[in-house]
Amino acid sequence: MMTRRGILKSIPAFALANTMGRSGAVGVPRATDLPITDPLEDIKALLGVLLNEIPGVGSICAALLELLWPWGHDDVWDQIRARVEAMINEKIEAAVFSLLKQKLDGIAATLKLYVSATSTGDTQTMMMQFIATNTAMIEAAEEFRNPDFQWKVAPLFAIFSQIHMALLRDVILHGKNWGWSAETYANYVKLTDSTLRDYTQYLDKVVQAQADRLRPHAPTHPGIHRTAIYNYWQPFQEARIRLIADFRVLIQAMDPIAHPGPVGNVVFDDVYSKAYGTADDWDATCSAWAGEVTTPFSLPLANPDSIYIEYFNSTPRRVDVSYPAGKGPLLWSTETRMDTCRIIANAVPGKECATIHIPPPKAGTRFNIVGASINTGSIPLGLALKLADGTKLTLWNRANSLGAWWEDVQISAHKLTTLAMWTRSRYYDDDLGCIVFGFSRDPDDVPSHLRELLYITAAGESDGIRRLSDQRISSELRERRTAFWRDLTESHSPETPFNR
């Protein structure tokens, strides 16, 4: 039965429910309306695999060609546009997008001829097609740097930069003996270095300009809930990492001068959710950590294996998230790893206790938690973890709460790896007040459709089979591979619109 005190406690939660949330710009797609596949994240996963080996000449370019201009499939760029708009909460003007799409399709046409040339082994043809493709990319680069729309189109520039760096990586690692002079080759080495610096500096400039645009409207104090500053900047930080910073990391990883061999696992920044709940009762322990809600934990090497909880009235006073020894998250981006992460607040014991064991990830993956469902109001009233196999682990649930709602928290191509938990609410029985979810990329979890793409675009059948891991090669997949390479050998003028 709901008590009078419980009804009173539901009022702040209901009020908070009516003030939280982020309204979308007119015409901007909602995250729930987006396709299941995510080309932006697929680029990162694809390059992560290819940079972990020494791919043959043209391999990266071939994979990007099939991913971004898939043979016999719908246009991927509309999906990319929708995802960018959803993340930045702004529309990309149709005329601007159309112009850049034309430039990208023109680049794809020359890239197709280059990849076709690499499959022949004819160094003279490779050299000529490299020059044509590189020239087209140099000429197009400025089109992506329109100062009036730089934040909106920077993700398209970031994708463009991956294609250009893949091309330049090819010529430095494989093209020394294509037939040009030592001086010409040395000039391409210099061009690669200057292009890398130019592209990364431009992306940094765009991020700084957007931060400067947002700063005058930012709160200067975290507010009574200690979340105002964090929650204001969280959408920008998520967009910055997923649309810009991740691709900047890949530009540097593709540097053939610094990384002539396998790069190994490419390390991307973690992405964090908004803060759920409130952190009003900022005690001495909290103050010793920070002045407001923030994210001290990042980049664990393994899945949490258990969570110990002490409850009062069905919500937690103590939550200990434990990891395998030495594989927990970094603390404040230092070299220190935490084996156990707890609520950051003065200790208060609970009345009931439970230990939730988290199943190990499936073979070939590092993490097992794909997201969470949270029942939130003034405090996190319910929390369930969503596992990769579709099951849920309920950590707690105050079933009689009023004025709160369940929300799914999930980030495309990421796994939930950390919980940043702040304060205990004196009003709510000293229970957990606020939580931020941290998400990491799983470098070992390569989706099956990308492994198929790697098989299709591999220059050699044996390389393609190896990249498929334990997946079965169907007759349909073999036909797709045959069609891809047959299409490359057909004549195609770089001046004509690219249409696959």
Same domain (yes/no): 421, 465: no
Residue 485: CATH number of its domain: 1.20.190.10
| 459 within domain boundaries | yes
Instruction: Give pLDDT, residue 322.
Output: 99
Same domain (yes/no): 244, 102: yes
Residue 323: CATH number of its domain: 2.100.10.30
Same domain (yes/no): 72, 187: yes
Instruction: Give pLDDT, residue 49.
Output: 93
Same domain (yes/no): 228, 367: no
Same domain (yes/no): 330, 463: no
DSSP label at 139?
Answer: H
Same domain (yes/no): 432, 315: yes
Same domain (yes/no): 193, 60: yes
Task: Give how many domains the chain has, as a whole number.
Answer: 2
| 83 within domain boundaries | yes
| 495 within domain boundaries | no
Same domain (yes/no): 475, 424: no
| 8 within domain boundaries | no
Number of neighbours of residue 483 by Cβ within 10 angstroms = 13
E-state strands within 149-272: 271-272
Same domain (yes/no): 278, 308: yes
Average pLDDT across each block of 10 residues of the chain; the chain has 500 residues. List them in order: 43 40 53 67 96 88 96 86 97 96 95 94 94 96 94 98 98 94 97 98 98 98 98 99 99 96 93 98 98 98 97 96 98 95 97 97 95 94 96 90 80 98 96 98 93 88 58 83 86 45
Q: Kindly report the CA angle at 268 between 304 and 276, in degrees rounded to 5?
A: 55
Angle between helix 59-68 and helix 39-50 axes, rounded to 10 deg: 170
| 499 within domain boundaries | no
Same domain (yes/no): 51, 195: yes
Same domain (yes/no): 314, 277: yes
Instruction: Give pLDDT, residue 71.
Output: 76
Are 379 and 278 in contact, with CB atoms under 8 Å apart?
Answer: yes
| 67 within domain boundaries | yes
Q: Which domain holds residue 349?
A: 269-441
Instruction: Give pLDDT, residue 37.
Output: 77
Report the distance separating Cα 3 and Cα 453, nearest Å: 58
Instruction: Give pLDDT, residue 461.
Output: 59
| 452 within domain boundaries | yes
Report the distance separating Cα 165 and Cα 188, nearest Å: 12
Q: Which of 405, 424, 441 is the last residue of a domain?
A: 441
Q: Kindly report the CA angle at 484 between 480 and 485, in degrees rounded to 5?
A: 125
Q: Which among 155, 167, 165 is positioned nearest to 77, based on CA atoms?
A: 155
**Residue found by looking up tokens 């005058």 in the block:** 216
Same domain (yes/no): 215, 339: no
Phi/psi of residue 129, nearest 5 degrees: -70, -30
Helix (H) or strand (E) holding 320: strand 315-322
Report the distance separating Cα 88 and Cα 243, nearest Å: 9
| 497 within domain boundaries | no
> pTM of the entire structure?
0.90
